[in-house]
Amino acid sequence: MSDVVIVGRANAGKTSACLRLARALGVEDLVWMVERTDGARERRRLPIREAERWLTSGEPHSTRWLQTLTIPVARGKSSRTVDIVDSAGLAEGRVRDEAVRRAMGQTLRALVAAKAVLHVIDAADIGRALQVSPSPFHALDEQLVAIGRTKAFYLILANKIDLPSADRGVEWLRARLRDARVIATSAKTGAGFDEVKRYVWKLA
């Protein structure tokens, strides 16, 4: 098994997590295989320092295709690879932009086909929602958890733990999803990614 698909709601930090993971696995010069929704493929090379500026944004739906990083992983004397697939964020309700709808469809196809899934959840968002509601979980995340549990490998990244409300969000997620693996991460500071790396490393 060597394909790990990163999914989650728009803006959860999927692309940032992908970059952090690449960095944790020792990759500095990224080669992305971009697969557009019209089926066209393109190879893109980007130093990791520039990637954050170009590929992540505070605006939701900044990723609108599948982008795959093939990462070499040293295993004793042999060298193997793991493909990390960053996907377009999912959203609930009616999405007006057709390009975003297509990209979400592409994410769902990748999710269905995937054997290994990393699900990124914005823990700070959950923590904030808890201040006004006892049920802060989005239906979409609920569905992703149900799909994730059917996979051979499923890991939840409770992300943005550098933000003030995230601690409560992580606590709530851990209590709610007791039998799932939840790792508290910050794609901003890198916290938690050594542990994520250890899991992904085993998939190579």
Ligand X SMILES: Nc1nc2c(ncn2[C@@H]2O[C@H](COP(=O)(O)OP(=O)(O)OP(=O)(O)O)[C@@H](O)[C@H]2O)c(=O)[nH]1
186 binds ligand X (CB under 6 A): yes
Q: Which residues pair with 196 in a beta bridge?
A: none
Q: Which is nearer to ligand X, 1 or 194 (CB)?
A: 194
By CB under 5 A, name the one of 6, 9, 15, 111 that touches Mg ion: 15
14 binds ligand X (CB under 6 A): yes
Q: Round to whole Å and give the CA distance between 32 and 179.
A: 34
SS3 of the chain: helix, strand, coil, percent, to 5: 35, 30, 35
Q: Supply 71's token pair.
A: 């990462």
Contacted by 11, from ligand X, Mg ion, none: CB < 5 to 8 Å by type? ligand X
Give the burial class of 139: count Cβ atoms within 10 A of its Cβ; 0-12 exposed, 13-18 middle, 19 or more buried. exposed
Among 113, 157, 3, which residue's Cα sits nearest to residue 68? 3
Contacted by 37, from Mg ion, ligand X, none: CB < 5 to 8 Å by type? none
The CB-of-55 to ligand X minimum distance in angstroms stands at 7
What string marks each residue from 36 to 65 as x (binds Mg ion by CB under 5 A) or -?
A: ---------------------------x--
What string marks each residue from 83 to 122 as x (binds ligand X by CB under 6 A) or -?
A: ------x---------------------------------
Q: Are strands 29-35 and 66-75 parallel, antiparallel or unpaired?
A: antiparallel
The CB-of-148 to ligand X minimum distance in angstroms stands at 16
Q: Supply 197's token pair.
A: 């790396």
What string marks each residue from 63 to 82 as x (binds ligand X by CB under 6 A) or -?
A: x-------------------
Q: What is the DSSP string of 109-139?
A: HHHHH-SEEEEEEEHHHHHHHHTT-S----H
Q: Which is nearer to ligand X, 23 or 160 (CB)?
A: 160
DSSP 13: S
How many residues contact Mg ion, by CB under 5 A?
3
